[in-house]
Structure 1
Amino acid sequence: MNDPDAPDERETERETKRYQTRQSGAGAISIGSMSGGAVASGEHASAVHHAAPSAAPADQRYDDAVRELLEAVRILRTHLALLAPSDETAETDGALAEVEDEAERTGSVDEGRLRRLNARLQAGATAAAGLASAGAVAQAIAQLVGAG
């Protein structure tokens, strides 16, 4: 049976590490592995660690934005098919198909292509611009290339 007054294994390990740190010399630091944080040693030493809020790496955010764009493009293409066929809807669908194809093949889309598609969707005179799903595509484009 375990002795309830005996220190647990983790506590013993922490005490051993503290002892080893004290024994390694004044101000000496020995670190086996460290991820983040700050360390300082010696008289008047100061260490400050300012951790950034936890966020996905930039490349992960970009990948997520491309996935959101793809989803929005697919929805808009479905909605466009519900409109009366016209040169305008065919051209818009063609532009959406190009964006969809490039994003699927490469994981990214040419910024110029995105800006042209965005301009087409922002033009108030087009039938596609009247679809709510067009706003979702425009928003996804803005995440990738900026609002400007």
Structure 2
Amino acid sequence: MATESSFDIVSKVNMQEVDNAVNQTLKEISQRYDFKGSHSEIVVDADNMKITAEDDYKLKSVIEILKTKLINRKVPVRNLDYSKIEEASGGSKRQNIKIKQGIESEAAKKIVKDIKGLNLKVQAQIMSDQVRVTGKNKDDLQKVIGFLREKDYGLELQFINYR
């Protein structure tokens, strides 16, 4: 009965779903009347998206369509970090969006501090870009998960490897 139970707290974005949402967005843009004859594009490379459109209105429209497609595909939009809108060639506008993968060290430290503040018999440790929580009582682990779901750390948390 003295076995340890554990789970991992991660923040991951499924890049295949992001790619699918981008393809759906590009298809919708090609079919919309207000985008006829205009040039808008979305380029995805590694953990970045670059969106280019003719003007601010079209850029904001592309981003809204993309957000909708991402939400429909269960991609956490809280993990998107928008940069400032900048001028591109030919008078068009460009915006870069960074896709945050993993839990940054500052957020991980805050998560561990909050877990220790619960005064439950669990241990939390930072393991590169995730946090592992271990404890003997599974009910305590469930309380930690419930507590973390209510908190806001600026990114979407997933709970995996629950044993």
Q: Structure 2-normalised TM-score?
A: 0.28
Q: Which has the higher strand share?
A: 2
Higher RCO (CA-CA < 8 Å; seq separation 6+): 2
Q: Which has the higher helix share?
A: 1
Q: Structure 1-normalised TM-score?
A: 0.30
